[in-house]
Amino acid sequence: MPRAIEICMPTTIHRRCIWHITKKISKKLNDYKRHEEIQEMNHVVWNSFTKDAFDINWNDFLQTLGVIDNKWLSKYFEDRHLWIPKYLDHHFWVEMKSTQKSESMYTFFNKFIT
């Protein structure tokens, strides 16, 4: 889908949904049992206030879990400019942080569209 959006709407910024990414992490790490360590990813994503801080915190997170070579996580690190808030803060997002519940997004836009 990102490639189709890029071709059809070249000026559109495509953003990945943080909620979907974080929701899949346990499954992608083969149902990793130490859930409190997986939840640290939320802290890394939302509380890294600079790009450099995110990169360092992400690496520390991977080392703590022992998943430095995980392909799924590596792919999302490479695409961090599409989903990490600090990498997207120069774009206007109408206060949207996630598409977790598309109903809330529709409700928001319905206020402005009749």
Residue 44 scores a pLDDT above 80: yes
Task: Tell me the torsion sign for CA atoms 83, 89, 91, 93.
Answer: positive
Domain presence at residue 9: no
Residue 85 scores a pLDDT above 90: no
Range(s) of the domain holding residue 23: 16-110
pLDDT digits (tens, 9 = 90+) for 15-36: 787 778 877 877 777 756 665 6
Predicted pLDDT of residue 9:
86
- CA 2 to CA 18: how far, in whole Å? 15
Domain presence at residue 2: no
Band of pLDDT at residue 86, cut at 50, 70 and 90: confident
Predicted pLDDT of residue 78:
93
- Which runs of consecutive H residues, i.e. helices, occur in the chain? 2-8, 18-28, 35-38, 40-46, 51-65, 71-78, 85-88, 102-110
CB 65 within 8 A of CB 37: yes
pLDDT digits (tens, 9 = 90+) for 45-83: 888 999 999 999 999 989 988 888 889 899 999 999 888
Total structural domains within the chain: 1
Domain presence at residue 8: no
Could you tell me which residues come within 8 angstroms of residue 13 by beta carbon, excluding any fewer than 6 positions away? 91
